[in-house]
Amino acid sequence: MGWVHAAAAAAAYVFSLYLLPAEVMALPRDDPRHVRGRLIASLWVTACIVAATAAQLVFGAGAEPSAVVVMQRLGLSPDVLCTVQQSALGVCYMATLFLGPLVVSAMATHRAGMGFVKALRSSLADWRLRFTHPSLRYHSVRNYVWAPLSEEIVFRGCVTALLTAGDGGPSRWRCALLAPLLFGVAHLHHYFSRVSEGTPAGRARVETVVQLAYTWLFGFLAFLLLFGAGLPAAVGGHVFCNTMGLPDLSFLSKEGGYYSDLHGLRHGLLLAYVAGVVLFVIAMRRLTSDFGDDAEWWPRSRG
């Protein structure tokens, strides 16, 4: 039943995004009024899913009726300092994977003649604009605050807790490999959004399949929770990934008949990309070694 409950939680989250008034649904997806409506809808459904998950953990088969146990199973800690440390861990961990894009960004800044202080001020001004400009603030709240928080709560905290509730659930590694599928499948609805906004069906299918693959891989943030690093680590990693976006490989090819200013450094930059992936895998092994045996919430009868 764990898979049924987990799938129901994922479906409820997606379905809630389509319960808005018809006049709001008719607006483009990035219209501030549409974004605001979806923020409110996802807020309510996230609260309901958390309540339902807590009820399942407290009253379900093999339940352990304790508020502390429920928090642990959701990957949460009452210790504020621990929460901050876990969030920083998630950011630092994902930063290893994005070593290549970070080096590219640093080199582009250097080539533009911007020093560290000037670049920092420019970046802070850009972020201030994103959260204060009327046409940008709802998108920024969605992309960098609420979407990472609500999606990690539902698709990492609640889904993994429901998958492992009771006896006979999947092993920890199987859960880490399969649970992200729910996160990926939950993004299939974007196909219909793209088609309704005028995107050709063929292109919409390709974009949706790419997004499915990307979100499935991205869903491996679940292992941060499954091996004891906690839900805040997954949230921190999610925020960082949304901030970075997809890797920029424009330095490898021509654009408008011209190579990028960084084309001459392409071999070193590619090496940074490869090094980032290697460090990511090494860090994964270290995390599973350091936290795996001490994940307080993981049922001891599982592997």
Per-residue pLDDT of the chain (303 residues; tens, 9 = 90+): 677 888 899 889 988 988 889 898 888 888 889 999 999 999 999 999 999 999 888 887 666 667 777 888 888 888 888 888 888 888 888 899 899 999 988 888 877 777 778 888 888 999 999 999 988 899 999 999 999 999 889 988 898 888 877 666 666 777 777 777 777 777 777 777 777 777 787 787 887 787 777 777 666 666 666 666 688 888 998 899 889 887 877 777 766 566 677 778 888 899 999 999 899 888 877 776 655 444 544 444 444
Examine residue 302 and state whether it is found in any structural domain, yes or no. Answer: no
Overall domain count for the chain:
1
Helices in the chain by DSSP H: which ranges? Answer: 2-16, 22-25, 32-59, 67-73, 80-97, 99-111, 116-132, 137-141, 147-152, 159-163, 172-185, 190-196, 201-218, 222-226, 231-244, 266-291
For the whole model, what pTM was predicted? 0.82
* 122 φ/ψ sector (left φ>0, alpha ψ -120 to 50, else beta): alpha
Helix (H) or strand (E) holding 259: strand 258-259
Q: Give yes or no for a contact between 105 and 289, defined as CB atoms under 8 angstroms apart.
A: no
Is residue 115 one of the residues assigned to a domain?
yes
User: Domain limits at 168?
Assistant: 2-294
Domain assignment present for residue 300? The answer is no
20 part of a folded domain: yes
Cβ count near 85 (within 10 Å): 15
Structural domain includes residue 303 = no
301 within a domain of the structure (yes/no): no
Residue 299 is assigned to a structural domain of this protein: no
C-alpha span between 66 and 72 (Å, rounded): 10
Reduced to 3 states, what is the DSSP secondary structure of residue 254? strand
